[in-house]
Amino acid sequence: MRLHGEVAVITGATSGIGEAIARRFSEEGAKVAVVGRNKERGEAVVSAIKSRGGTASFFSVDVTSDKDVKNMVDSVIRHFGTLTIIVNNAGLVVPGTVIDMTPDQWENVFRTNVTSTYLVSHYSMPYLVKQRKGSVINISSEAGLKGFKDRSAYCAAKAAIVGLTKAMAVDHSGSGVRINCICPGTVETPMVQRVIDCHANPVLMREEFLLRRLTPYLGVPEDIAEAALYFALPENRYTTGAILSVDGGALAK
């Protein structure tokens, strides 16, 4: 139980990578705030965690809303008594170049990926800094480190998360708070499956994802959960401002 006594807020935790992180942290003894918009899926994640002896609660939140996020952070601290780990995982991808993407689509991608990360950090960091301990884990993407066709807003938003992580680490590591970032490659999640299904040739789309890797397979959410666990463990006190690619070797290829 390496996370015994820890309380983790995980956004986008009702499916995919966020759900896997919530389950993994719970297995290690953390109390988990499952944050998302879909109540049915969120409660299912909570039930699964509780069925294995863990502690979790669902918080229905629009992570792009200033008011919602502030209320959520306050509610989590009241409910669990403390807050020690933040995982900014909420994300959205909308295909398109800068020519064919509408301003509304562009803003939606940035609100979901970047503004949510800012808001959750904005309202959580004062508490972490005051207690002089904690871990913030931002989930970016391999798309934040390189360019991809028809992903202009997504690449820009995920690159912003990388930059924000580094700035937060410079600002707050001296206060005992570690801030790190994971850049997953293509992972078998519902969001990725929707991208594949919406492509004119889904089989070709999956093959393109695979061709970017050094591995003959795509990642699974549990791969990212293990990376998040490393950053969450209090004993890894020397790791802050790190950008970790978990992408099947795509960045090296």
Q: Which two tokens stand for residue 103?
A: 């301003």
Residue 143 near residue 92 (C-beta atoms within 8 A): no
Cα angle 20, 110, 24 (rounded to 5 degrees) comes to 10
The answer to whether the Cα torsion of 53, 32, 27, 188 is positive or negative is positive
Report the C-alpha gap between 228 and 13 in whole angstroms: 13
Q: Compute φ and ψ for 189, nearest 5 degrees.
A: -125, 165
Report d(CA 9, CA 39) in Å as an integer.
16
118, 123, 154, 217: which is the annotated catalytic residue? 154
Burial of 100 (0-12, 13-18, 19+ CB in 10 A): exposed
Q: Please give the C-alpha separations between residue 249 and each of 21, 157, 210, 226, in angstroms, as whole numbers.
A: 21, 22, 11, 17
Strand partners, 243: 181
Q: Quote the radius of gyration of the chain (alpha carbons, Å).
A: 17
Burial of 151 per CB tally in 10 Å (0-12, 13-18, 19+): buried
Active site residue 118: no
Which residue is listed with tokens 């290829």?
A: 253
Half-sphere exposure in the Cβ direction for 125 (13 Å, CA): 20
Q: Please identify every residue annotated as catalytic.
A: 154
